[in-house]
Chains A and B, each alone.
Chain A
Amino acid sequence: MVGIKKHNLTKFLIVAGVLSFFYLPILSLMVFSFNDSRSLTSWSGFSLQWYKALFENREMMTAITTTITIALISTFVATVMGTLAAIGISKSRRIIKELVLSVNSFPILNPEIVTAIGLMLLYSSLNIEKGFLTMLLAHIIFSTPYVILSVLPRLRRLDPDIAEAALDLGATPLQALWKVIVPMITPGIVSGALIAFTMSFDDFVISYFVSGNGVKNISILVYTMSKRINPTINALSTILVVIITIVLLVVNLYPFITKKELKEAE
């Protein structure tokens, strides 16, 4: 626009400042994972000992396996259940729709600790022993609402006649569902699954309250281990950060790469 001086330097400094604030702790975490000594504050030299310790630590490896297993299974179950529920909701009467969506939003709106103790009380009342399955179940319970909220908007935008058209052409309701509806809402399903996976992978509060019997996921392990200084945590964290960064980069650059290939093919 005409006549406006741009205070570009100030803006740049403010944004750079905030970004440094976000990344400095992460960077320090990563740097000290390579520290030769046990300190998190003074540097003694480069070493991979903590990574070695990480892989040799039985407890940690188990926790990682547990976390990934639970994340994968709960994501799968939550995605399937959530997608089917969302389809059901979108075709239901208004009253049912509103009621279901209200209750569905409780795990999302409630503070995690409330959901957590609710489940803890449930398990106790039913005399279920806390362990792997209780954690898995809990993850499914709190992930499914997010899948539903992710799929529902796509369903809303779907042409209501599409399923009818499929049935008109001879498909059974199941075929119509699988071959017509699901493909059209796939982006919603995928993003719902991603949210479910992340929420499960990162979960702490709910897992903490509903697990027992020594079953731990990564977050619980970090929580119990952080009572003492332990750079193995740093090593684990660094690996997590690197993986997440790579994934995010790929996801965001993927459209550009495919666009480029399309252009070259022309």
Chain B
Amino acid sequence: MKGYASLVKPYIFWMSLFIVVPMLLIVLYAFTEHGNALMAFRFTLDNFLKFFDPVFIKVLFKSLEVAIITTLFCILIGYPIAYIISNTSERIQTLLILLITLPMWINMLVRTYAWISILSDGGILNSIFEFLGLPPIKMMYTDFAVMLGMVYNFLPFMIISIYTVLAKLDKALIHASHDLGANPVQTFLRIVLPLSMPGVISGITLVFLPAVSTFVIPKFLGGGQYMLIGNLIENQFITVGEWNFGSAISLIMAMIIMGSMILTRKIDRDASDTKNVEGGKAW
């Protein structure tokens, strides 16, 4: 319409240079030998083979393990909270959502840093334990600390995702379910839970992705020796200088993430095929 469409052209150029090219570069570096790739263009799979060392595979599995457990905890804690909030009065809902989103606006580093003083050996929690006559617990630099930090950072996303769907749920459906003889528990299991799945799925996406790729939280709360994939990549680029290997690891991580997204979407679609969630949309 009257040339407004051509407004998109400059952005297409911008994206090609600043979004597409960088990604192609990562692929390029991953498949070439050490050194400035544009000069010495020699195709190789060595970078990927290097990854299949037990040390690195261990890092991969650890990252997946931590990310999955974090996601699970976020669902286990996040769903009940979202459910409770969605059933309060509108004013309280607004207040609670505000309270939950406020920490999200505070810098992630600052929020993670705060846990150091709480979890350290001489820290706040251990001081309380001492005061109560309990033995001190080592929490810093453990899996527990890292997962705690992750849940702390990502839980609000899960809560908001699920809450958004629950809040939009037509209350008449719940009335109808009661009208037809289902008690509140049956209503939850047969009506509310299935219809809230889209929120859970998008919550999983918002938690799992950063949980797999983060390196700040493991670094602060896991210590220098604690390596997840994100740390590995950072290490390769910043400290070791092995850009090719680092790129290969990034590709592997990207593949895994893409794979899990496709998997979750497939699970969602299979569920909705039998239960016709979005059946009415003209897709």
Contact = CB atoms under 8 A, between A and B. Distances in A.
Q: Do chains A and B touch in the complex (CB under 8 A)?
A: yes
A163 B98 contact: no
Contacts of A121: 22, 25-26, 29, 243, 247
B253 A91 contact: no
Contact of A117 (B3, B99, B209, B247): B247
Main secondary structure of the interface of B (DSSP, over half): helix
Interface string B204-244: 00000110110110001000000000100110011000010
A15 B82 CA distance: 10
A125 B35 CA distance: 11
B14 A25 contact: no
Contacts of A89: 8, 11
A92 B9 CA distance: 10
B212 A111 contact: yes
A219 B112 CA distance: 12
A32 B114 CA distance: 10
Nearest to A236: B110
A212 B84 CA distance: 47
Given A88-B4, A100-B15, A252-B98, A240 B115 contact: no
Contacts of A112: 210, 213
B29 A248 contact: no
A42 interface: yes
A149 interface: no
B103 A202 contact: no
A223 to B, nearest CB: 6
A198 B107 CA distance: 9
Among B38, B117, B230, B250, max chain A CB count under 10 A is at B117
A109 B265 CA distance: 15
B120 to A, nearest CB: 7
B269 interface: no
Given A113-B215, A223-B109, A248 B102 contact: yes
Contacts of B109: 204, 219, 222-223, 226
B64 interface: no
A103 interface: yes
B117 A240 contact: no
B198 interface: no
A218 B107 contact: yes
Given A85-B11, A88-B9, A219-B109, A14 B1 contact: no
B107 A88 contact: no
B267 to A, nearest CB: 19
A141 B18 contact: yes
Interface in A130-148: 137, 141, 144
Contacts, number: 214
Interface residues of A, number: 77
Contacts of B14: 81, 144
B243 A241 contact: no
Contacts of B216: 204-205, 223
A87 interface: yes
Nearest to B210: A111
Interface stretch (B53-61, B121-129, B188-196, B273-281): B121-129
Contacts of B282: none
Interface in A1-43: 1, 4, 11, 14-15, 18-19, 21-26, 28-29, 32, 40-42
B98 A25 contact: no
A115 to B, nearest CB: 7
Among A40, A240, A248, max chain B CB count under 10 A is at A40
Contacts of A223: 109, 216
Nearest to A226: B113
A1 B174 CA distance: 11
B107 A104 contact: no
A111 B228 CA distance: 14
A85 B4 CA distance: 10
Contact of B111 (A26, A42, A87): A26
Nearest to B94: A252
B99 A19 contact: yes
A96 interface: yes
Given A41-B120, A100-B15, A163 B107 contact: no
Nearest to B254: A114
Nearest to B37: A125
A183 to B, nearest CB: 16
5 contacts: A41-B122, A114-B253, A202-B105, A237-B110, A248-B105
Interface of A: 1, 4, 11, 14-15, 18-19, 21-26, 28-29, 32, 40-42, 81, 84-85, 87-89, 91-93, 96, 100, 103-104, 106-107, 109-115, 117-122, 124-125, 137, 141, 144, 160, 163-164, 167, 173, 177, 198, 202, 204-205, 209, 218-219, 222-223, 226, 233, 236-237, 240-241, 244-245, 248, 252
Given A25-B118, A100-B8, A226-B220, 18 more contacts: A4-B184, A15-B81, A15-B96, A22-B103, A22-B152, A41-B117, A42-B127, A84-B7, A85-B11, A111-B210, A112-B213, A113-B234, A121-B243, A121-B247, A173-B3, A173-B4, A209-B237, A236-B110
